[in-house]
Amino acid sequence: MKQFAVIGDPVAHSLSPVLHQEIYRQLGMEAVYEKVHVTPDQLSDFMTQNEFDGLNVTIPHKTAVFPFLNELNESAKIIGAVNCISGGKGYNTDWIGFLKAMEYNDVELTEKNCLILGAGGAARAVAYALIKSNVNSITIANRTKEKAESLTQWVKLQSEIRVKSSSPEHLNTLTSKYIIINCTPVGMWPDTESVPMNVNDIDENQIMVDTIYNPLETEWLKQGKEKGAKIVGGLDMFIAQGLASADIWFGENISEKVDLNRLKQILKAAI
């Protein structure tokens, strides 16, 4: 019986066990998946002693696990964060999850102008996905200006794409058609009334993507939908990053064999 787990601090809220157990159930696989609460103090002991066949890694360990890995794949190395470990090698599947979610929802990224809200780990994975998709431009708006600037510099190092940072206060004047991606936790349960950016300038020309999946439709997306924008919640990205992890662990195209609608239903019921 293969054994997998997600580690994090906190981790009690994680839906990864529900996602992976449903994949194993659908495909009749002999495997179990659990969540393990690992504090920063416990990380070293855990990483050197655990016997799991594979791990997902969440906040705050996505970078802290580096010293315990033998190798990083290219995207994890560039993004500087690992959310999946297999055989001592670290991977980042968040950016793949984002791209797949765009694909599932018919959002074409190539040549588009994109606005990222936030400048943390998820923002960097999304920026990497946008670079890979040859978008026209990237604007990064973050509460802490220095972090927005640092991510802007990072994008410049990786690509020729036009990139600039902005402050959240200046976002009231969206002058063109944007794909806006919320990579902050603003609006996540239990803070469900908050929005990462006001929707004054939103209209049917905008596409709004939230990385948050609890709630399934954030207040920000609800307000945007009322203004006519196309909206995409974070559940598809979450499912796709999990499927990409399963593909790595089992070395096969698990993602093409599962019943996605059923998986989504199970997760929606668990939220």
The catalytic site residues sit at 62
> At 140, is the secondary structure helix, strand, or coil?
strand
Is residue 95 within 8 Å of residue 250, measured between CB atoms?
no
Residue 46: Cβ-neighbour burial (10 angstroms; 0-12, 13-18, 19+): buried
Q: Please report whether residue 82 would count as binding ligand NAP according to CB under 6 A.
A: no
SS3 28: coil
- 255 touches ligand NAP by CB under 6 A: no
In this chain, which of 16, 133, 165, 184 binds ligand NAP, going by CB under 6 A?
Answer: 184
- Enumerate residues 124-183 that contact ligand NAP by CB under 6 A: 142-144, 147, 183
Shortest gap between Cβ of 211 and ligand NAP (angstroms)? Answer: 4
Q: Which residues have C-beta within 8 Å of that of residue 247, sequence separation ≥ 6?
A: 253, 254, 255
Q: How many residues bind ligand NAP (CB under 6 A)?
A: 25
Is the Cβ of residue 122 or residue 267 nearer to ligand NAP in the bound state?
Answer: 122
Closest CA to 96 of 112, 111, 74, 118: 74
Shortest approach of ligand NAP to residue 122 CB, angstroms?
Answer: 3
| Smaller CB separation from ligand NAP, 119 or 174 | 119
32 versus 216: smaller Cβ distance to ligand NAP: 216
Instruction: Report the alpha-carbon distance of residue 243 to residue 160 in Å, rounded.
Output: 31
Question: How far, in Å, CA of 25 to CA of 100, rounded?
Answer: 22
Kindly tell me which of 90 and 234 has the beta carbon lying closer to ligand NAP: 234
Q: How far is the CB of 243 from ligand NAP (least distance, A)?
A: 11
User: Residue 71 belongs to what H/E stretch?
Assistant: strand 71-72
Interface segment toward ligand NAP; rule CB under 6 A; list 10-18, 45-53, 117-125, 199-207: 117-125
- Candidates 238, 246, 254, 263; binder of ligand NAP (CB under 6 A) is 238
Question: 245, 231, 135: which is closest to 187 by C-alpha?
Answer: 231
Which of positions 8-67 make contact with ligand NAP (CB under 6 A)?
A: 59
Order of all β-strands in the sheet with 31-37: 31-37, 2-8, 54-57, 84-86, 89-91, 71-72
Q: Which of residues 194-233 bind ligand NAP (CB under 6 A)?
A: 211-213
88-107 residues in contact with ligand NAP (CB under 6 A) are 94, 97
Cβ neighbours of residue 226 closer than 8 Å, sequence gap 6 or more? none
- Residue ranges binding ligand NAP (CB under 6 A): 59, 94, 97, 118-123, 142-144, 147, 183-186, 188, 211-213, 234, 237-238, 241
